[in-house]
Amino acid sequence: MKTDFRYIRRKVFGTVMLGLSLLAALAAVSMLFWILGYTFIKGISAVNLDFFTKLPTPVGVPGGGLANSIAGSIIVVGMAGLMAIPVGIATAIYLSEYGRGVFASTVRFVSDVLAGVPAIVAGIVAYALVVTRMHRFSAFSGSVSLALLMLPIIIRSSEEIFRTVPDTLREASFALGVPKWKTILSIVLKTASGGLVTGTILAVARVGGEAAPLLFTSFSNSFWNFNPGQPMATLPVDLFNYSISPYQDWQQKAWAAALVLVGMVLLLNISARLYLARKGFKR
Amino acid sequence: MAEQLSRKKIISPEKIFMGMTGLFSLSVLLISVVVVYELFSASEPAFHKFGLKFLITKEWDPVQKVYGALPFIWGTFYTSLLALLIALPVSLGIAIFLSELAPAWLRSSAGFLIELLAAIPSLIFGLWGLFVLSPILQQYIEPPLSNLSWLPFFTGYPLGLGFLNAGLLLAVMIIPTISSISRDVMYTVPANQREGGLALGMTRWEVVSKVVIPNSRSGILGAVVLGLGRALGETMAVTMVIGNTPQFSLSLLDPGYTISSVIANQFTEAFDKLQISALVELGLILFVISVIINAFAKLLMLRMNRFSGGARI
Amino acid sequence: MADKIAVEGLNAWFGKTQALHDIDMAVPENSITAIIGPSGCGKSTFIRCINRMHEEIRGAYSNGRVILDGEDVYGSGVDPVLIRRRLGMVFQKPNPFPTMSIKENVVAGIILNRRLGRHEIEETAEKYLRRAALWDEVKDQLNRPGVSLSGGQQQRLCIARALAVEPEVLLADEPASALDPISTAKIEDLFTDLKERYTIVVVTHNMQQAARISDRTAFFLSGHLIEYGTTDKIFTNPSDKRTEDYITGRFG
């Protein structure tokens, strides 16, 4: 068999290109480990019990922690969830169970477009909507901005989950004479519940790491605050403020905050994804 | 029979349930109307003062109360395009590796790891860019580049912070988006297309470059558009590494500013009403861009679905 | 007639499932050989082993020898990419490349190895479209996408594409099973014309088709070659009971 020069060139070129694609995948995976590993090494030395239990100290005063901003993050994200999750799931029910016409496809299109709105814009909207009317920064306005980000994510993932519920289940229920709304509440919601929970967890993980919309809504606070009408410290905002400060001990705290934040976000993410993979849902 | 009759008289629970979920869906539309309304009304003072000149004015001076968006628009697009330029070949490489080369066991785990990259909060990328990437750029990468200063792209001093750092960071952040969508699209290329290529005597790479990628082109374009959307709106990471200097420069070594980072930096400190309004108007510009981009991406995806559905015999 | 292809002791697997058992079979030059059998009998796997397409499926492998003009296709140092250029293949579902025009589809295989000028592309496209009996129907629309054609035309386009790399053998995997009767007849006529130049192996689930066009017929059942002989013999006087059952429609 003759192997001509031209074919050898094709073959070498192809092998080089496929080799480069392997390299690209390796590069991306090593970026992941580089970023996570560096965060871990820099952060672990500053993470201790105080970090989770104490209030922040002024510059130069050693010790202290970010207990208030960890709690603040939970509160702000929690309130956002309370607003976005019911609306999101109810909308997804409508879209997957009743939605056929122009109205449903408009809602679908709008929520897909909303999903692409930058986080910082959600912050501006919450600012204009809540902060300017209340005349002060507040945890509540932060929650509004995060809810705005969460809503389209929840609608999209829940609708996808509802669609994985096989029609035969619905039909079996109709055949027993159960009306559609009861079928949805009892059969469809119950079958989809696992997927809904994981979809919601992913949405929480996604917005929980956001700082941009909180900078000028929930703002920050050096003290304990449980009043949603007042400014509240959150982990991402503190991380940002500490990281761009010129003080060594604050930067140190930023790394610790980064480690805790990344730990929480990835823990939520990995557990949700593993659960989904085990259940056999796509994505 | 009796039940049917009574159902006609009262409003059925069926209708109540459907109406309630329908109302929630309606609220999504209302929310988006509120979003648009708030952005427009809060940016009205700035629009009233500067009009369309806002878009082409270079100065941003809170002391003189002159506000122009040009340097920020420039910075936003320049960093995003830079990011795309870097991210696109890498992402395609990843997608090709995952869909065409990787054995089954590696496929899912490598895909999982690359998607995890997308889950890392933007702040963490910023921290890494600020404390790890920036010194590396300043000491090892930018000095040799500044020797090429006869090119407009490499003038200025090696600062470690600026367009190059932001572009690289954004590239890493959008690689998961572009690569995972491209991979999904490449998966859907029917096996008989690949076999058609192989049977003609194509090498594996030729099957990828002449069959798989052309078959996936509108999906890949959609992925690129979505990646661009993410890069344009990205805030925290860019804010930490862009250098925060409103200037109109081609040089990768120069510091710059983006729409989202000027909002992040100045919003809380702005006590001049006009400045806030100008910042909101910047946000509105970002919003409009992202709506256009996402709508375009969505249309591309719809088109692709129809296209691949139509290719079936 | 000399043997173009000689298959010796061919076994094929998908993972742990064996799809072909110890096949021995010789295909004479310039003839049409039909492979028949119920679905899942391994007939597609068999022709995919001839041009080494079988190994492209994840987890699939084979052993044994496939001798093409005295050279083992599976011999060490044989490049499957080059061997496939000598063994053209047409698939069950027409698979023109959707992003290429009709003429680009025809020359898709040639331009891998040779740069063609614009004029040469037109000439080559015409030559092979004529050979695939498609020219008259598409000569005014050579720049339209290949997928804009009807199913039967698409299949003949794929045949033109396969012929354009000048193979010696044409392997066809149920080429007409997705087509209407008129298109099927056109493909059958085409194959009968083509056997002057090429050796053709065609898999079909349609026994009438095998009887109409082939010189020799092989009957496969559960991965075994049950019987192989002239088409006349197989259809009028099979020696194996199972062949008789199959061709008389008692199963499959």
**Residue B251 belongs to a domain with what CATH number?**
1.10.3720.10
| Residues counted in chain A | 283
Look at chain B and report how many structural domains it folds into.
2
What's the confidence (pLDDT) of residue A282? 46
What's the confidence (pLDDT) of residue B115? 87
Q: pLDDT at residue A283 above 70?
A: no
Q: Which chain C residue has its CA at the smallest distance from A3's CA?
A: C82
Contacts of residue B116, defined as CB under 8 A and 6 or more positions apart, other chains included, come to A32, A266, A269, A270
Mean pLDDT value of segment A245-264: 93
Whether residue B201 sits in one domain with residue B119: yes
What's the confidence (pLDDT) of residue B10? 67
What's the confidence (pLDDT) of residue B306? 57
What's the confidence (pLDDT) of residue B149? 85
Between B174 and C113, residue with greater pLDDT: B174
What's the confidence (pLDDT) of residue B4? 52
Whether residue B58 sits in one domain with residue B47: no
- Determine the structural domain holding residue B58 and report its residue range: 53-311
Between B150 and A20, residue with greater pLDDT: A20
Q: pLDDT at residue A2 above 60?
A: no
Question: Residue A209: its chain B contacts at CB < 8 A?
Answer: 120-124
| Residues counted in chain B | 313
Chain B contact for A118 (CB, 8 A cutoff): yes
Residue B155 parent element (H or E):
none
Q: Which two tokens stand for residue B276?
A: 């806030």
Q: How confident is the model at residue B156 (pLDDT cuts 50, 70, 90)?
A: confident
Q: pLDDT at residue A216 above 70?
A: yes
Place of tokens 């705290």: A253
CATH topology of domain C3-99+169-247: Rossmann fold (3.40.50)
Task: List pLDDT tens digits, range A131-185.
Answer: 999 999 999 999 999 999 999 999 999 999 999 999 999 999 999 999 999 999 9
Three-class SS state of B247: coil
Chain C contact for B214 (CB, 8 A cutoff): yes
Chain C contact for B105 (CB, 8 A cutoff): no
Q: What is the rounded CA–CA span in Å between residue C223 and residue C212?
A: 25
Whether residue B156 sits in one domain with residue B302: yes
Between B305 and A211, residue with greater pLDDT: A211
Helices (H), chain A: 5-44, 49-53, 67-93, 102-115, 119-126, 132-134, 139-164, 167-175, 180-183, 189-208, 235-243, 248-279
Helices (H), chain B: 2-9, 13-50, 70-96, 104-119, 122-128, 134-136, 142-146, 163-187, 191-199, 204-206, 213-215, 217-233, 236-241, 259-266, 273-311
Mutual angle of helices A235-243 and A67-93, in 10-degree steps: 130
What's the confidence (pLDDT) of residue B310? 34
Query: CATH for A50-279, among 1.10.3720.10, 2.40.50.100, 1.10.10.10, 2.40.420.20?
Result: 1.10.3720.10
Q: What is the rounded CA–CA span in Å between residue C240 and residue C243?
A: 5
- Residue in C82, C88, C99 closest to B215 by CB: C99
Q: What is the rounded CA–CA span in Å between residue B226 and residue B231?
A: 9
Residue C153 parent element (H or E):
helix C151-164
Task: List pLDDT tens digits, range B122-131.
Answer: 999 999 999 9
Chain B contact for A269 (CB, 8 A cutoff): yes
From B144's Cα to the closest Cα of chain A, the distance in A is 23
- Which residues in chain A (7-36) have CB-CB distances under 8 A to chain B? 10-11, 13-15, 17-18, 20-25, 27-29, 31-32, 34-36
Q: Which of B57, B219, B235, B294 is nearest to A237 (CA)?
A: B235
What's the confidence (pLDDT) of residue B1? 46
CB-neighbour burial class of residue C181 (10 A; exposed 0-12, middle 13-18, buried 19+): exposed
Whether residue B127 sits in one domain with residue B24: no
Q: How far, CA to CA in Å, does B2 sit from each of A158, A228, B5, B231, B279? A: 38, 52, 5, 62, 64
- For chain C, the structural domain boundaries read 3-99+169-247
What's the confidence (pLDDT) of residue A280? 60
What's the confidence (pLDDT) of residue A281? 53
Q: What is the rounded CA–CA span in Å between residue B100 and residue B196?
A: 15
Residue A222 parent element (H or E):
none
Q: pLDDT at residue A268 above 60?
A: yes
* Residue percentage of chain B with pLDDT more than 70: 94
* Residue percentage of chain A with pLDDT more than 90: 81
Task: List pLDDT tens digits, range C191-235.
Answer: 999 999 999 999 998 899 999 999 999 999 999 999 999 999 999
Whether residue B306 sits in one domain with residue B266: yes
CA dihedral B128, B133, B136, B141 (to 10 degrees): 180
